[in-house]
Amino acid sequence: MGCVSARVLDEEADRAFRSGDYSKAAARLEEGLKEEGENGNDRLLYLLDLGLTYHQAGEFDKAIKAFQAADRFAEVKDYTKISEEVAAFVTNDNMKVYKGEDFENVMISTYLAMDYALKGDREGALVEARRVNSKLYRMVNEGKRKFTQNAFARYLSSILYESDRDWNSAYVDLKKTLELTDSLPGLGRDLWRVAWLNGMREDLERWEKKFNLTAEDLAAAKALHPKNKKAEIIVLFENGISPMKVPHPNMQSIPTFRPRYNPVTHARVQVDGKDTQVDTFPLFDVQSIAIQNLQENYDAIIAKKMAKAVTREIVTHKLMHDDRPGLAALVWIFMAATDQADLRSWQLLPKDLQIARITVDPGVHTVLLNPVGAVATKEKTVSVSAGGKVFVGFRTIP
């Protein structure tokens, strides 16, 4: 069993993914997954990146299958054998089955929600959007972690509920979104509209005052009433690529996240060849969450490294006492050399998740994304019925 992660070393799949050759990336990841077997140390990593590759290729059923397998694998709590724990203790954590960071577990359900939404399965998308916040609730209340609720998942579920004409549930999630961010463009108009659809007249004045809603804002909100036969395009924008795990500059045997270059802050949406004046807005910062998650684990990581160092000293001291200096030196060198930082992480995640909503007439439309600081994406064609909502996804990597 090697000391370095097979998935981390697999640059071929990464290059194919970043160049947009998703069929090649998927083939390589499928091959790696087969090589890992049912209980391989990097099995979860291959499943995660395979799911994301199929997601980007628009093969949502295959993506869902991979993410569901990853979710089941990540939920198993006791699959690390004692022998693997001992081996990892005296060498390095790469010899253990990768369980995933907490934020990665949350991202599995986030991507499942997106995939169901993109394929038009609102019920499946809602189930996964609720699971995102359920997982976060357990981490905060049972695991005593510092995670906050996911504004992206909350807002996505509010849109899905509204699409199902469950105005009350949509209103609950919009208010939860407001608790997490009050800077999302159009949120005040959304709150006013759904309060209006719910018949909550007492709340209308509250939202008008809080967000300084104009007559034009209220007209735009009312335009999305089902009887007005308008429709909506919901753009899900995955911006950039997540930070990379590297050895910490001050202690090479522990990992740290290094952000990767990304000049894009947001994108302008174009529909049917015309600028919509609607920009995407970041609702989930994967990069910040990844860095925060790892920092919260530093105390445990450093304590384990210190315990390894003490063990190394005890073993070599015992060998020296037994007059075996040559073996003591070899053991010390081996344990020091193999005590490497575990650099495994979900390689292909975006830097952040963004969203935009565009009101349109029912029919067939072309949608194009112009990332500010990068080249435009390829156009995508969507069809939406009167009173309906359709989701379309984009990804850019500088």
Percentage with pLDDT > 90 across the chain = 63
Question: Is 117 contained in some domain?
Answer: no
The model's pLDDT over 157-209, given as tens digits with 9 standing for 90+, comes to: 999 999 999 999 999 999 999 999 999 999 999 999 999 999 999 999 999 99
Residue 19 structure tokens: 């160049």
296 domain residue, yes or no:
yes
> Long-range contacts for 118-125 (Cβ within 8 Å, ≥24 apart)?
118/58, 118/60, 118/236, 118/391, 118/392, 118/393, 119/60, 119/61, 120/390, 120/391, 122/160, 122/163, 122/164, 124/64, 125/156, 125/157, 125/160
How open is the CA angle 315-320-321, to the nearest 5 degrees? 95
Considering only CA atoms, which of 240, 291, 263 is closest in space to residue 397? Answer: 240
Q: Kindly state whether residue 43 falls inside one of the protein's structural domains.
A: no
> Which pLDDT belongs to residue 89?
43
Structure tokens at 29: 């990841």
Q: What CA–CA distance (Å, rounded) separates 306 from 89?
A: 11
Neighbours of 122 (CB within 10 A): 16
Residue entry with tokens 């090697």? 2
Which residue, chain included where needed, has tokens 């000049």?
263
Residue 244 DSSP code? E
* Contact between 220 and 239 (Cβ < 8 Å): no
Predicted local distance difference test score (pLDDT) of residue 84: 41
What is residue 365's predicted lDDT score, i.e. its pLDDT?
A: 98
User: What are the beta bridge partners of residue 235?
Assistant: 356, 392
DSSP secondary structure letter of residue 314: H
CA pair distance 234, 237, nearest whole angstrom: 10
> Is residue 310 in a domain?
yes
Q: Let me know if residue 398 belongs to a domain.
A: yes
CB contact set of 120 (below 8 Å; sequence gap of 6+): 390, 391
Dihedral sign from CA coordinates of 183, 211, 215, 223: positive
Pairing mode of beta strands 231-239, 389-396: parallel
Domain annotation covers residue 309 = yes
> Do the domain assignments include residue 148?
no
The predicted-structure confidence for 48-91, as pLDDT tens digits, reads as follows 999 999 999 999 999 999 999 999 998 865 433 434 444 444 45
Edge-to-edge order in the sheet of strand 281-285: 281-285, 352-360, 231-239, 389-396
Number of domains in the chain: 1
- Identify the segments of the chain with pLDDT beneath 70: 1-4, 76-95, 142-149, 299-324, 326-339
Which structural domain range is residue 235 located in? Answer: 229-398
Q: What pLDDT does residue 87 have?
A: 44
- Determine, yes or no, domain membership for 348: yes
Please give the model's pTM, rounded to 2 decimal places. 0.86
Give the C-alpha distances (Å, rounded to integers) separating 261 from 61, 255, 398: 31, 19, 7
Q: Which residues pair with 363 in a beta bridge?
A: 384
